[in-house]
Amino acid sequence: GKEVSIADRDNAVVSQARTDSLGLVNVELPEYKVNGKEKVVSSPYTVEVEGVKREVTLDSNKTITSVIK
């Protein structure tokens, strides 16, 4: 499988995974986190596969399924 790396808006890596035999990877991404009374927005995320980057902007928590060939 191919290595998939996902970073949040601050470029902190939040997930690293390998695709399965079909080229699929599933990752749940939160739109934001709550720290006490503070809302910390995590989006947009950057998804990188083999040097190719795509930005993903969320308007709610999402589970992303990507097929990588």
pLDDT at residue number 27: 85
The residue type of 31 is: E
Q: Tokens representing 56?
A: 């993903």
pLDDT at residue number 62: 74
pLDDT at residue number 36: 94
Digitized pLDDT (tens) for each residue of the chain, 69 residues in all: 899 999 999 999 999 999 998 888 888 888 888 999 999 999 999 999 989 999 999 888 777 666 666
Measure the CA angle with vertex 20, ends 48 and 3; round to 5°.
25
Contacts of 35 (CB under 8 A, 6+ apart): none
pTM, two decimal places: 0.81
